[in-house]
Amino acid sequence: MKKMKLILLIFTLMNFVVSMTALVFNGILDKVAISLNVSIANSGLLGTMYAYGAALGVPVTLILFGKINRTKMLKIMLIITIIMTGALILCHNFSQLLIVRFIMGISANGYGVLATSIVISFASKNKQGRTLAFLIMGSSLALVVGIPLTRILSNTIDWRVIFLGLMVIMVFSLIIFQFFLPETNQQSRSFDFENEFNLFKKRKTLVVIGSSIIIFIGYGSFYNYITPYLLETFPATEKLMSGFLVILGIASFIGNLLGGFIADCIGYRKSLLIGCFLQFLFIGFIYIFQSNQWLSIMFAILWQMSAWFIGLQLNTGIAQATKNKSSFIISLNSSAIQLGTAVGANISASLIATVGMEKIILVSLLASAIMTIIQFISLKQDISNTTENTVIE
C-alpha cells in the first residue's frame, strides 16, 4: 500500500513536470521572444510544435510499439523526454528548437497517455474521477507554483536553467519507476485494428474525442496568449503578472478537484455540460467587460477554472467510454486535446497579426458555445434512449 502511494505521488510529480515542459513558455512568452530575437507570435510556435508532436506522433508511436509492455514503454518515453530536454538546453537555433519541441511533444505526451492508463488501472470505477484528479493535480501545481515561479526567475536566470531543473526531476522519477513500478496486469499485445476501431466508433467515444478537439481550440486560442493579451490590453498588469499566474494556477487546481468529485457524483456527461456552459459564460463576460481590467482578470480566472473542470471530465470520459481497455484510444483523445490547442494557438497567431490581440477571445467564445449545444443535445439523446429502454423492459 505504501509503495502504491509512493508510485502515485511520483506520477503526480511527473504530471507536474510534463505540464511544465508544455506550458513553461506561456508564462514568459514575451521574454522568450526577446531571448530568441523573434516576435511573440513566432515564439508561440514553441508551444504549438509541442502540441502538434503530441497530436500527430503519440497514436502512431503506440501503434508501432504496441507489443511492448506498458510500463516498459512508459520508461522509454520518459528517457526520450529527458534526452530531448537536454537537447533543448543546448540548442540555440530557433528552427532546431522547433524540431526538438516537436519530438518532445511526442515523447512527453506518450508518457502522459501511458501514465493515465496505468494510474486508472489502480482505481475502482467509482473512484476513477478522484484518482485522475489527484494525478492531474500535478498539472494544477505547475500553474500554481511552476509557471508563476518561472515568471519571477526569468528576471534573473535564463529559461534554459528551468528546463535543467525539470530534467533532474525526470531522472529521479525514472529511477523510482525502475525500482518500484509494478508490471502486473500490463501484458504486451499486438495492435488489434478491429477491436480498436470498434471502441473508436462507439458514440460516447466519438463525442468525447470530438468535444476535446472543439473545446481545446477555444482554450488554446486564449490561454496560449493570455499573458501578452493582458499586458497589451492593460499595461499596468505587468507588476501583477506573477500574482495573477499564481491565482490562475489555484483556479486550475480547484477546477480539477471539483471536476473529480462532481464527475463521481453525477457522471462525466452532466459535468461536461455544466463545464461547457460555464466556460461560455465566463469568456462571454471577458469579451463584454474587455475595457475593465479587474473584471477581465476575475473572469479570466473563472474561465481557467471551468477549463480544468472540463479537462477532468474528458479524461474520465474517455477512460469510461473505452472501459480503460485501449491506450490507443486514450492517446487519440490526448491527441485531440493537443491538436485542438495547437489549432487554436495558430488561429490566434493569425488574428494577432491581422486584426489585433483583442479578437482572440472570439475563438474561445464560439468554441464554448458550440460545445454547450453539442453536450446538451447528446445528453438529451442519452436520457431519451434510457427512457425508451426502460419502457421496453
Per-residue 3-state assignment (H helix, E strand, C coil) for 312-330: HHHHHHHHHHCCCCCHHHH
- CA dist 254 and 355 (Å) reads 34
Q: Examine residue 303 and state whether it is found in any structural domain, yes or no.
A: yes
Q: Examine residue 209 and state whether it is found in any structural domain, yes or no.
A: yes
Q: What is the dihedral of CA 185, 191, 193, 196, to 10 degrees?
A: 30
CATH number for 324: 1.20.1250.20
- CA dist 26 and 9 (Å) reads 26
pLDDT tens across 248-262, in order? Answer: 888 888 888 888 788
Q: Examine residue 224 and state whether it is found in any structural domain, yes or no.
A: yes
Q: What is the pLDDT of residue 227?
A: 82
- CA dist 212 and 279 (Å) reads 14
- Given a contact cutoff of 8 angstroms between Cβ atoms, the answer to whether 220 and 341 are in contact is yes
Q: Examine residue 185 and state whether it is found in any structural domain, yes or no.
A: no
pLDDT tens across 194-239, in order? Answer: 777 777 778 888 888 888 999 999 998 998 888 888 888 898 888 8
Go through the chain and tell me how many residues it has: 393
How are the residues of the chain apportioned to helix, strand and coil, as percentages rounded to the nearest 5? 85, 0, 15
**CA 119 distance to own-chain centroid:** 17
Among 94, 88, 56, 127, smallest CA distance to 343 is for 56
Q: What is the pLDDT of residue 192?
A: 65
Q: Examine residue 359 and state whether it is found in any structural domain, yes or no.
A: yes
Q: Examine residue 186 and state whether it is found in any structural domain, yes or no.
A: no
Q: What is the pLDDT of residue 327?
A: 66
Give me the residues of the chain with pLDDT under 50, please.
Answer: 185-188, 390-393
| CA-to-CA dists, residue 109 to 89, 124, 391, angstroms | 19, 24, 45
Residue 14: what residue type? M
Q: What is the pLDDT of residue 136?
A: 74
- Given a contact cutoff of 8 angstroms between Cβ atoms, the answer to whether 9 and 3 are in contact is no
- Given a contact cutoff of 8 angstroms between Cβ atoms, the answer to whether 13 and 177 are in contact is no
Backbone dihedral angles phi then psi of residue 247, each to the nearest 5 degrees: -65, -35
* Cell digits of residue 68: 511492448
- Does the pTM surpass 0.75? The reply is no
* Cell digits of residue 42: 513566432
Among 54, 49, 19, smallest CA distance to 332 is for 54
Residues 6+ apart with CB under 8 A from 47: 22, 23, 25, 26, 101, 224, 345
Q: Examine residue 284 and state whether it is found in any structural domain, yes or no.
A: yes
Q: What is the pLDDT of residue 393?
A: 47
> Between 128-141 and 293-321, two packed helices, what is the crossing angle to 10 degrees?
140
Question: Could you list the residue range(s) of the whole structural domain that residue 161 is in?
Answer: 2-180+192-392
Q: What is the pLDDT of residue 284?
A: 95
Q: Examine residue 32 and state whether it is found in any structural domain, yes or no.
A: yes
- The angle formed by the CA atoms of residues 208, 252 and 289, to the nearest 5 degrees, is 95
- Total domains in the chain come to 1
Q: What is the pLDDT of residue 390?
A: 47
- CA dist 177 and 179 (Å) reads 6
